[in-house]
Each structure stands twice: as C-alpha cells, then as structure tokens.
Structure 1
Amino acid sequence: MLRSLAAAVVGLVLLAACSPMKLSHLDRPSSERVLEAVGKGEAGRAVTDQGQVLDLGGAVTAGPWVCATTFEPACIAAGRVTALEVRHAPRSPWWAYAVAAPFVPLVLGDMALQEVDRRLTGGPQTFSAQWARGAVGPCIRHVRRDKSGAWPSDQQIRADLYRRRDALGGRCLVQLAGDFAFPAAARRRMSLTGLARWRFEAFACVQARPDAEAGAPRAFVPRPWDLDGREVDWPLELKTILEDEDTWAVTDDVTEGCRPAGGAAPDLSLAVSRAREGWPLPSI
C-alpha cells in the first residue's frame, strides 16, 4: 500500500513535469563543460573532432575521459568533443510539491520498512526480476529451491546469491547487480567483477569457443546509475578487481561451460590476459 502511494506521488510529480525537455547546443565546449554535463546526466549527442557522433546519455567520466561500452574505443578524451547537446529537465510546478507533501511521512515510513528488510535479508527491497516465478537467466541454475521444490522469495534469492557471489559466473553477477536494489557501490563491484569474469570464462577452455568469445564483454565500464551520482574513482576499483586472483576462479560455470570444449585449460594465464584486454582506458 505504501509503495502504491509512493508511486502515485512520484507519478504526479512526473506528470507535472511533462513539459518538453529543453535542449541547448554548445559549439566547441570546454573539456570541463563536457565532463560536467556527463557527470550530471545532462549530456545528449556529441560530435568529436573526427566527425564521430556519440550518445553521451549512458556515459560516465574517468578523470579527463568520457567512457561507455558503446564507444569505439570505449573511452575518449573530453577535449575531443567539438559539439555537444545538453538536456535541461523541466521543473515541476509548485503545486505538484504541495500535493505531494502530505504523503512524505508515508514514503519515509516505507523507506524505514525497507531498511528493516535489508537488515533481515541481506539487502534492500528488490526491483524484482520475478525469478521466484520461474524466470530464466544465467543465475537461475544457482537458485536453491526448498525441499518441496518451491522457489524462495526474491529477497531470499538475492541474499543467498550475494553470500555466494565469489562462486558465481560472470553473467550471473552482472544480472544480480542489475536486477536487485543493492547499494550503488555493491552493484558496481558485482557488475565490474561480472564483466571481467564473463570475458575470462570465454577464453578459459582448452578448445577455442568462437561464439563465447564473440559474445564476451569488449570493455569494462560501469553504468551511470552505479556511480550513485558522485564522482567515483571506478578505474581504481576496476584495477583492484583485475589484480585480484579470486576474479579468475574456476567456478562451476567455467567447469560446465568448458566441458564440451575439452575442459578448463590447465594454464589459465592466457585467459586472464585476454580478459584484461577489457580494460577500457588508454594506456597513456
């Protein structure tokens, strides 16, 4: 009930803000202005000094670089942007906030209940991927049913998988980070670890698996919503992940995935080397 009220309040404010998005076009913006727009989520399309058109809506910053998995290469210097589209969100009118004000205590109460759930089950309320109702995906094989064969709750699934995250495959970690409402730092760590492990798994077998290699992540870049709206030194976090031996563990996903391809390679150094090629930032 509380969530329904909260959703209604949010919907009201959003409805009131449905005036058209304002756009401004900047010619030869400074690097600082480009980085600021990306950091605030205001950047739209951009044109580089080589005429490449990029969508900066899903990009993140890393020092003087702007990065996204859709870019080629994955990171470009902000100074290379020669034209920038900046989006300005419309402001909600005062009456929308006046209508929403009586519901604030209810919303805060719901947040308190979610905090209780987080402490009891190991994480906050889920966005819900409805795994407990038979959804398929890379994590479903890791979900433990009870003795009757019934699925546990989403909260129990999330908490159990999080406790066993060191033993999960890369694709499962990425799904876990994307489907459940963990704090941003935890999502970012799981997602980056999952991307690295996913790429490692594609090269970990005795025999080459062209399809797995082609489908592996090309670059490791966090999603904007995993940075929690702050400037986060995610390259340092990624460097730590790539240097952690646990990232390259031979999980059940490696063992089973490599079974048709001669098993896991006895020497995984090549797989680790190929996985580290996903480092997105230039070497200079």
Structure 2
Amino acid sequence: MIGKCKLCGEEKELCNQSHIIPNFMYRDLLDEKNRFYAIQLNESGVHSRGVRQTGEFDKNILCQPCDNGTLGKLDRYASLILYGGNPKIFENRIDPDGIKYTYCADIDYSQFKLFLLSLLWRASISQRRFFAEVNLGPHEERIRQMLINSEPGDQLKYPCLIMTYLHTKKYIEEIVAQPSRARVNGGYVYTFPIGGMVYVFFVSEHIIPGSLKDLSISPKGELKIRHSSPCLSRRIIGSMVGARFVQATKSNARITQGFNMLL
C-alpha cells in the first residue's frame, strides 16, 4: 500500500508489519516452539486470547527505510545493550541508601536514548488497543522530529528510568503488560512493563525528579538500572493485574492468576 509514512512523512510503500515493541524484547516470552500466549485480564478473571508467534504490530504506518533502517538500527543496537552484554562495564552495585542497581558504561548515548524515545513514540502512533493509554499529544511530533533528525536531546528531555524486579523476577520475567499512563502534578508518566524490566518515561519537564540526572542514560554513556524493592515490585505487579492485556508464556498464564496472592 502506498501512503504517508508516520516517521519521514513521505508518500511511500508502507510495511505490512511494523512492530511497536521490537521482537527482541519478547525473547523471554517464547517457549521451545517460539510461541507465547496473549491473555486478556478483566473483572471476571483471565481470558486467554490464544497462542501467538509475533508481538503487537501495526500495518501501513511506516515505510521500509524508516521501519527497518532508521528504527531497525536503533533496535539492533539496543538488543546488544540489553541482552547482548555489549557494555564493557557492567557492574552490580549498592548506593549509600542500600538500593541495588546495575551500573553500565560505554553506551552510545545517542543510539540508546533514541531507541527509548522510539519505543514511546511507536506506542503513541499505534492504533492497537494494547497501546490505548499512550497518547503523547504535541510531544508525539516533537519526538518524531528528534528521531528523524537523530537528535536525542539532553539527558532530562523525555528521560527514561529503567528498573528490574530483582526480588520478584521469577513471577514476571516472562510478561509484557499493557503500557499505562499516570498523571503526576499536571504531567504524564508512562510505564512499560516488558519482560523483567520496567521502562518509566517522564514526558512533562516540570515533573521530572532530580534523581533522574543520576539514573537515566547520560551523554557520557552511563546508565544505572535500578533494582526495585519488594514493596515497589508488588505495586507494579498490582498495576499489571489491573491491565486489560498481558502477553505471557504458557506457564505464566497460570502465574498471572495468582498475582493477587503476592500483594
């Protein structure tokens, strides 16, 4: 189909499948046959949507050069950082307050920051119900410009806090939950639970906590991935239980039903 690409804005042949969450982020969901379960949560419990072999994707939103080229390059780099052991420095540490985190260095700031922005932007332009809560408004165009011009902005421009479920990972490492939106002091925060990690995006500048200067990806290529406390992990799990859609392995379809027992 010929149409207007949402990234470059040009009239081109559009892709039949453009993944919103890159395939590599589904790695922990796959069973031995490269399948996973998509399940729907509602007031009456868990309703299975059946076996799937691909994640959420949209048709006719991106052209091939943007999908596989501009965004694909960012995805490939991020997969090396998050799952390929690419950073030369990768150390588990504890800060003075006793909070555990993983310190990463030697990361390409521009590529990794743009990857994170692309994840948020793709969710906003998607028409899939899974991403219904992600609506960036005027920020969508601003981030599009940053992506198309390869301009990551400064550290606190749309920063992202990355956390892991250190103490409860065995329950949720194989789950991708519907992204959620929360209003904080007049601004919006978007939370993406993907695998054993949570990506928290701060969209409005006036709500960005000063601590993100120390935690989010820095221009020096340093990143701290914070390991959440048991209490925080349980709150996040609770929000996932309230989500309408969860993508999980077959085994976790049963685990999801027992989440309330953890809270």
TM-score (norm 1): 0.24
Look at both structures and tell me which one has the larger radius of gyration over its CA atoms: 1
**Which has the larger share of helix?**
1
Between the two structures, name the one with larger relative contact order (CA 8 Å, sep ≥ 6): 2
